[in-house]
Amino acid sequence: MDWNVEKIREEFPVLSRQVYGRPLAYLDNGATAQKPRCVIDTIDRLHRELNANVHRGAHYMSEVCTEEYEAARRAVADFIGAGSTREIVFTAGATASINTVAYSFGERFIGAGDNVITTEMEHHSNIVPWQLICGRKGAELRVIPFDDDGRLKIETLDQLIDNRTRIVCITQASNVLGTCPDLKKVIETAHAAGVPVLVDGCQGVVHGGVNVQELDCDFYAFSGHKLYGPTGIGVLYGKERLLEEMPPFMGGGDMVRTVSFSGTTYAELPLKFEAGTTNYIGAIGLAEAIGFLNGLDLHAATTYETMLKDYAEQQLGAIDGLRIYGTQPDKCSIVSFGAEGVHPYDIGVILDKLGIAIRTGTHCAEPVMTHYGITSMARASFAFYNTREEVDRLAKGVNRALNMLRA
């Protein structure tokens, strides 16, 4: 395979560190990805040389920072295949993006007796905001289930959707099971009923990417920090005609055209949804991460990640008494697992002492835990800078942990 992982790793300074005297094996990329040197340097440069509020200053630094901020918006639009920068809203993260839609779209389009459809495998950020708006409006939240193999039963959408359905909300890739639902089928079914679709792209934009126009989703949300960019920056893509009809989510500076006590008019898109001082440093840092990714063969990167996932499932699957949750053949590079009689937290603590970073807990997806009748899982999530040797260390570490905890 034409993927020089050692050369890639040189671009990520943190990967050379040690933890408890052992080389770091960072396998928690589903929570947040590490940052390449170019992103770190860009953020440092902005703080040292160009820190000025955007859109508001008449001075040099503000004007240049504004240019870089709006260039970042163009970079994001190009990266996800949006038709216009008017459709790209910078937020604090994917959670903020989804809450923006739930509140603003919900205020405009959801009423008593209506319903919203989500899925059983969603992250809490694509469940709770919809519970909140449904609770306020007297609407119903309906759920597409999944089976024990982690396959989303999208065929049930035909029975769930009706003339009171106002939006369908679905993940591009489950952060726990790795499942990648057939979004095209979901969107076609929803659109045939005149219902828009919001896609949580947090994992999907990293593993395989997206073209929102080809996908034809109505909203798409993702976070910068999972895409090798800074924390505290996210993106909401929305079709322009829908964003135009939606009221602002927050009020304050920069999202207004005129303000008086007799009434306020709002700024044009996308600024209508960017109240206050935006995270311009985060946005510019995200654009730098996108530039880094654009310099790579992303198809080769995804192929390499799939190889790591398959190898990890093979190695972990050979351990007696270990269960892997989510076994769909086209899943992304996430492997969640557990062992009867052993708490995942204890596995994670032992692995940590071996220099191996994984995630344990509910992964902000308690309904997934409930489905399997458990309270938590261990999760290894792989990026294109991970190695087969790190997978070997993971499998040996898990085997060692289980032997210790079962003794």
Asked if 235 and 329 touch (Cβ cutoff 8 Å), the reply is: no
Asked if 336 and 377 touch (Cβ cutoff 8 Å), the reply is: yes
SS3 state at 150: coil
Asked if 284 and 90 touch (Cβ cutoff 8 Å), the reply is: no
Nearest to 227 by CA among 285, 276, 154: 285
Kind of pairing, strands 219-223 and 197-200?
A: parallel
Q: Which two tokens stand for residue 293?
A: 């990714």
Catalytic-labelled residue, pool 134, 202, 217, 364 = 364
Please tell me the distance from the alpha carbon of residue 378 to that of residue 358, in angstroms, as a whole number. Answer: 7
Residue at 192: amino acid letter: A
Whether residue 364 lies in the annotated active site: yes
Q: What are the strands, taking DSSP E only, across 122-275? A: 140-144, 165-171, 197-200, 219-223, 234-238, 256-260, 263-266
Q: Which two tokens stand for residue 365?
A: 């997806």
| Rg of the chain on CA atoms, in Å | 22
Residue in the structure block whose two tokens are 């052992």: 22
Asked if 358 and 27 touch (Cβ cutoff 8 Å), the reply is: yes
Catalytic residue annotation: 364
